[in-house]
Structure 1
Amino acid sequence: MTPVPAGTPASPAEVTAPPTVGVEEEFVLAARHSRAAVHRAPAVVGAARVRLGAPHVTVEVSQAQVETVSAVCRTAEGLAAEIVRLRSGAAAAAAEYDCLLVPTGTAVLGRPGPPPVVDKARYRAFARRFGPLAHDQGVNACHVHVGVADREEAVRSINHVRGWMPLLLAVTGNSPFSDGTDTGYASWRSVVWGRWPVAGPPPYLHSAAHYERVVGHLVASGAAMDPAMVYWHVRPSPHLPTVEVRVADVLPDPAATTAYALLVRALVGCAVDAVRAGEPAPAVPDLLLRAACWQAARHGTHGTLPATHTHDCAPTSVGRLVEELWKRVEPHLSRYGDDRWVGDWLSEVQRQGPGSARQRRVADQHGGRLQAVVDELAVEPR
């Protein structure tokens, strides 16, 4: 895809500040020699916090995972620099403990999930309540936060975004291998994560009050320990004035992560505009959305998906859906100079496939040797 040339640039006075954007990325730790998942996260996170600052690195439920948390950014250049800073600093901390920091949705080799669970009260309670369901939870996502100050607008905008979740998953699948096996999926992470009772596409939300009622019922049922554990693909953040999109696997490199985050920001911006204009969102059935997300996880960018951003949900090629998404978001991207970043990335995905295709190519080039996949993905420390 080639970005549509922008029109006459607006004067600085005519361009409002871009919405804020932030990124959380989860990584698997792999032993340098075996390349299998290794449980050294508490030590690695401690070292990474010294390098990057305590707010920017955290543990996850599995001791084979590290999560980075970006600063709040507004420009593409600032976001790209922040992602590089966090990845390289976390990789350097991992190297101190003879580990590789690997951006893949599931561990290519070895089993990363609990036990042992990271020693935090929340995670111990998590493991007690859900039992063996927690055992494979060493999966790694990319979460994008986009600033939307008004809670009502944030909730209603989700209705306009939810129909795009299958396509976003298709273009970001980066977890074909798990524990030494080719799963046959583009995003095995999303299948593992989808086992949770509060994961997957959100329902159609009529208002902020409706959202609170639904979440309250889920917590009361025991399906979630608290509102933060309602793990929908897109949701209003439980603790920030943002819309949080959680559907993607962690992406293979900083350029892809930056472009994806900018795409999400533009999509949320379009959704907020639609809410303010009184534009109704398609009331796509929850079961169809879930089925479309499974199809995206299975096949990635190959084949067709239901066009769940429309009322008729007709089967449509992924390539055509990308073109329709581009048409929708390009004005927002161009407004802030983000069109080239996103256009180049989407063009590459259309030519080469998502991260899952890249992983399989590397494996094929090395006679099926999956250690080579880990080496190809591992972040260079600086």
Structure 2
Amino acid sequence: MDTAASETTITAEMAEEAEAQDLLTLGIEEEYILVDAVEPRGVEAVDEVVGQVPEEMRGSVQHEYLRSQIEVASPPQLDLAGLYQAMGRLRRELAGAAERAGARLLAVGTAPGAGPVARIVDDPRYRRMREHYGDLSPGSGMCGTHVHVSIPDAETGVAVLNHLRPWLPVFQAATANSPMFGGRDTGYASWRSMMWERWPTVGPTPYLKSVDDYHTLVADLEQTGAMLDEGMLYWYARLSANYPTVEIRMGDVMPTLDDAMLLAALARALVATLLRDVRDGVPAPRVPHPLLMAAHWRAAHDGLEGVAVDLATREPRPAWRLMRQLFDRVRPELERHGDLETTTVLMGRLRAHGTGAARQRAILAQRGSVADVVDWLAKATRGDVPRD
């Protein structure tokens, strides 16, 4: 829910290098659920886990809303390999810290097993949220992925947000990783998406006329009480309140680092592609808000394994066809940023293995136990599952 840790600040040297090469920087935040080391239920162990994190990494780790959640934020990168290395280390170190604290770390949108409702972290802001909004986060928490991509200025960023709107349901389908909640299959590939939408400012980014329009709407939402501050602007894409980035934030946290890196690379390539459209004066598609909501609902329901809404034709199509269409659309920017070879491999792995939701359901079908799903998620989060 909160903004990224301080290590996401872009250095002057990195900004100069990015400008010289006309490249975009990239950063990622991931939220995780902590579960009991023996039983597949959420556990309030965040303070104990943070206490086990190596001192030099604590600036990249922070509390989340509930005591059964924890969040990490990568430093910004120009190179996808650098991001992979940074996030891999964070995942491994945090998984180890969780184990030393008697818990396990899961990269999953909602805790699969049944268990008690977790308490909120003892933080003034979180206490205000709990008092104002009541019980909008039952269970062990809802965990997502947020990708930050650099932009030249806020006005251009708002134009990019307008162009992003029809593409984000495809990202939501690709990141689906929360089919189970309370020990049962919910019937949705991303149940987290359905739970998350209860917050008043969650949803697709509206079409915005300008950066002034953006800030006026943010101020109006604060005045209504729908959010306490700009950090509670939970649109699926927004301007970061703290960094010169567009933040894409509608996806579940994904089980493997490969999945997360594919999303990050595609997000950067898409923003770079849309920046060129903005500079060339290409108008953003004016997709009706109800249709956009329907496309996001379908993405949460089906993931990549079913049907998606093609917002260009307004027709249902196989979700993987739209995923491939996205890849083809951003291919030139993937190549220009040096990510094409890696993302081609990662796309192949995602196609072969399926989304996190599909993999969880396959394990449940084969073994019949939520505990087996939790075991696999813990190994996937740490990086201890086969990649091919």
Measure, in 2, the Cα distance between the counterparts of 1:305 and 1:363: 24
Measure, in 2, the Cα distance between the counterparts of 1:201 and 1:113: 28
How far off its partner does 1:334 sit? 0.7
Match of 2:167 in 1: 164
TM-score by length of 2: 0.90
Measure, in 2, the Cα distance between the counterparts of 1:363 and 1:232: 32
Match of 2:192 in 1: 189
Deviation sequence 1:120-140 (CA, Å, 0-9, x none): 000000000001223347011
| Mapped contact 2:176–2:356 kept (Cα < 8 A) | yes
Deviation sequence 1:105-162 (CA, Å, 0-9, x none): 0001134754x21000000000000012233470110100001131101111011111
How far off its partner does 1:176 sit? 0.6
Change in CA separation of 1:209 and 1:138 when aligned onto 2, cut-off 3 Å: same
Match of 1:334 in 2: 335
Match of 1:174 in 2: 177
More displaced 10-residue stretch of structure 1: 232-241 or 349-358:
349-358
Match of 2:136 in 1: 133
| Mapped contact 1:52–1:86 kept (Cα < 8 A) | no
- Equivalent pairs, count: 366
Q: Secondary structure at the match of 1:87?
A: helix
Q: Secondary structure at the match of 1:235?
A: strand
Measure, in 1, the Cα distance between the counterparts of 2:170 and 2:382: 30
Unmatched tracts of structure 1, length 5 or more: 1-11
Deviation sequence 1:300-323 (CA, Å, 0-9, x none): 123332222x3x433332122122
Alignment of 1:102-121 (within 5 A): 102-111=106-115, 113-114=117-118, 116-121=119-124
The share of aligned pairs that are identical, in percent, is 38
Match of 2:369 in 1: 369
Match of 1:202 in 2: 205
| Mapped contact 1:106–1:188 kept (Cα < 8 A) | yes
How far off its partner does 1:54 sit? 2.7
TM-score by length of 1: 0.91
User: For residue 371 of structure 2, what is the amino acid of its counterpart?
Assistant: Q
Change in CA separation of 1:112 and 1:193 when aligned onto 2, cut-off 3 Å: farther
Deviation sequence 1:226-270 (CA, Å, 0-9, x none): 111010111111111100000111111111111110110101111
Deviation sequence 1:73-131 (CA, Å, 0-9, x none): 110110100110100111111111111111110001134754x2100000000000001
Unmatched tracts of structure 2, length 5 or more: 1-16
Match of 1:253 in 2: 256
| Residue in structure 2 matching 1:92, options 91, 96, 108 | 96
| Residue in structure 1 matching 2:33, options 11, 21, 28 | 28
Q: Secondary structure at the match of 1:232?
A: coil
Change in CA separation of 1:135 and 1:35 when aligned onto 2, cut-off 3 Å: closer
Match of 2:73 in 1: 69
Match of 1:143 in 2: 146
User: For residue 374 of structure 1, what is the amino acid of its counterpart?
Assistant: V
Measure, in 2, the Cα distance between the counterparts of 1:137 and 1:122: 19
Alignment of 1:269-280 (within 5 A): 269-280=272-283
Q: Secondary structure at the match of 1:189?
A: helix
